[in-house]
Amino acid sequence: MPTITFVNEKKEIQVPDGANLRKEALKAGVNLYYGFNGFGQSLNKIFNCHGLGFCGTCRVLITQGMQNASPMSFMEKVKFKAPVPDPLPCLAYIGHEDTMRLACCVTVHGDMTVVTNPSLDLYGENFFS
């Protein structure tokens, strides 16, 4: 059984092969919906797309084991590259193109290390590139 390690929460869970990352994280009590720097966190827990890939609020960084995740879905590609109606997923994606995913779109096929609530680096070297 694959093991998912959540860095911020210091949690390690075992999931069946082919499990959905969002569903397993929520079952384990891991918060995926932080809002913008904590603002809107309680609203995002209620008003999210419930795993359809539309809202972009369940974004995570897969720091290890990206090869064990399913390929990037069409919804992820659209959400990370189209800033309308919500620009936050696009801003978070800058500089993390190889590791940023939406938890609702990831199928787990092996061990991985996940960072929830990735910060926005609006002043970083990759922002204006």
The predicted model scores a pTM of: 0.88
Return the pLDDT at 90.
87
Higher pLDDT, 42 or 55: 55
**CA distance to 16, 20, 35, 43, 83, per residue, from 86 (Å):** 33, 24, 12, 15, 6
- Give the CATH fold of the 3-116 domain: Ubiquitin-like (UB roll) (3.10.20)
- What percentage of the chain carries pLDDT values higher than 70? 88
Cα 71 to Cα 8: distance, rounded to the nearest angstrom: 24
pLDDT at 129: 53
